[in-house]
Amino acid sequence: MKKVLLDYFPGKPRPVQKEILGRVESALKSGYKKIIIQSPTGTGKSFLAATIARWQGSSSILTATTELQDQYSKDFAYMRTVRGKTHFPCLQLDSLESCSKGLCYDPKTEESCSYKPHKSLVLLERKGTLKEKISYKPHNFSEPCHYYFQKYAGDIASHTVYNYAEFFSSVFYTKDAPKKASLIFDEAHAVEDKIVDFVSLELIRSEVEKIGLQMPESQQDLETWISFAKDVDGAYAKAISELKSIIEENSNGNTTISKNLAELEGKHDRLSYVLKKMKDKKENFVISKATLDKNGLMYHISIEPIDVGSYLNDVFSFGDVILFMSATIDDQMFCKSIGQSKEECAFIQVKKSPFPVQSRPIHFLNVARLNKNLMESAMPKIISKIDEIMNKHGSEKGIILTTSNKQIDDIMQGVSISNAQRFYRTGNDLTRSELIKLQKDSDTPTVIISPSMYEGVDLKDEMSRFQIIVKAPYLDLSNGRISAKLKLDPQWYTYRSVMKLVQGAGRSIRHEKDFAITYILDQSATDLIKRASNIIPQWFKESIIETNS
């Protein structure tokens, strides 16, 4: 007799998890191949994913950050993780350069790098069990390339956790992504942006000058930039051929030339892929960002796709059953944004948060209205309120979310000296993981301040007892893609902006016994939630306390 879905749950499920899994099982038995789960933080979505994955037999689980990958591998030891080349040292290089800097083949012989493992010698034991094990039988050396070993292990493992970037790279560029019974999108609200990152074109003057080309001097139409991108593509191909010739003529080899060749090949592969997509459907692309230098000359250009549905269909082919999970998904808007029919997707929504409402109050203080025209005059009042809140929480750690580095500079300069000394800011060559570790290990009441930590950040317990959202995180209308999407569908713009706000408010309350206070300062945020009332999750609404500062 086949086990029911709940039989695969790791441990003892809570009532809310039983409810969700029961509805998932019913949806699958009814023939649904795509399932959307919207449930608040604290419902244990990773445990739901693990249960569904084991019931299906095999899975590829996609996450938005490496921190979430670490959490999966910590909670479920039988799961493998696969990451990009930048996370591994290159064994063929003398220094600790990342694997992305090395060539995976010998340009003279076209044979694979000697460290590259033989895929057939990556061995799987106890397949499908909780004690599944993957090892490598050495061929002519003891240590295989770390990147390719974990990649090949992920291919044959029953359950593998990828970050979006690496999986999409395997789908779109190398075309060697494994197909498994289930494809699970964790933090699924990020899917659209992650796809845009992969099907976009970026040209930077300093890079194209290295290959002997000159950027057009000013803003041009899309046709001009596509034509120029083709010139860049040709120049990359020529430069690659020349570097290969140099290596073939140099019997001793040259590490610097090899690294340059590896970098050029990566850029050429990506550019060629995007140009092909543009050729197939040019009208779906728009200039998203154009940056001029201080002399008014073009320095940087980005071209992005407006609609991503067709590209996601390529991804969906790598799973028999597709599962989307997030705390911030509206079924109608989400399906529309990824080009799927709502009728083809089962929608499972949890309206009640497992966290007591008194543990997660959200204060809309309406300190001042922040927009482009009022920002400079309003910031002193905003900074004064931040100083006041930090004093109130003088013995506690917290996080402040901004929408720009300029706001961070103003805040750090405007608050009291004692409060300014509490800040850890993003940037300064610190990764998010390193910043979070600093906050965790600190013996003083430190405060993270960042424009880029609205999601994928877990600041549980004493790591953060208060959080401040400075400005309503409206999407940037100077971005050509966002502007084009707004014209096509104004509701999409509101949906994406308000869901980012909801994500930000969830950084510091991570389990049932956790608690934190959220302060939202911008009066425009109050306008946003009122305008988006019909798509805001109920568990968020019940936490709102609106006051006038």
Are 338 and 482 contained in the same domain?
no
Are 233 and 287 contained in the same domain?
yes
Q: Tell me the H-state helices in 349-489.
A: 375-392, 405-414, 417-420, 432-441, 480-488
Are 261 and 318 contained in the same domain?
no
Which residues constitute the domain of residue 210?
A: 201-305
Are 316 and 412 contained in the same domain?
no
Is 112 domain-assigned?
A: no
Are 483 and 416 contained in the same domain?
yes
Condensed to tens digits (0 to 9), the pLDDT of residues 502-549 reads 999 999 998 889 999 999 999 999 999 999 999 999 999 999 998 776
Are 212 and 316 contained in the same domain?
no
> Global pTM?
0.92
Are 513 and 446 contained in the same domain?
yes
Is 180 domain-assigned?
A: yes
Structural domain ending residue among the three candidates 273, 305, 337: 305
Are 450 and 531 contained in the same domain?
yes
Is 413 domain-assigned?
A: yes
Is 232 domain-assigned?
A: yes
Is 55 domain-assigned?
A: yes
Q: Which residue has the higher pLDDT, 375 or 108?
A: 375
Q: Inform me whether the pLDDT recorded for 1 exceeds 50.
A: no
Distance CA 17, CA 48 (A): 7
Are 66 and 213 contained in the same domain?
no
Number of domains in the chain: 3
Question: Which token pair is 36?
Answer: 């959307």
Condensed to tens digits (0 to 9), the pLDDT of residues 144-188 reads 899 999 999 999 999 999 999 999 999 998 899 999 999 999 999
Are 392 and 516 contained in the same domain?
yes
Are 180 and 218 contained in the same domain?
no
Q: Which residue has the higher pLDDT, 417 or 257?
A: 417
Are 328 and 389 contained in the same domain?
no
Task: Tally Cβ neighbours within 10 Å of residue 443.
Answer: 5
Is 34 domain-assigned?
A: yes
Is 499 domain-assigned?
A: yes
Structural domain ending residue among the three candidates 274, 305, 336: 305
Residue showing tokens 């610097």: 256
CATH of the domain at 168: 3.40.50.300
Q: Inform me whether the pLDDT recorded for 96 exceeds 80.
A: no
Rounding to the nearest 10 degrees, give the CA dihedral for residues 45, 51, 54, 56.
-90
Is 145 domain-assigned?
A: no
Q: Inform me whether the pLDDT recorded for 139 exceeds 80.
A: no
**DSSP-assigned beta bridge partners for residue 292:** 298
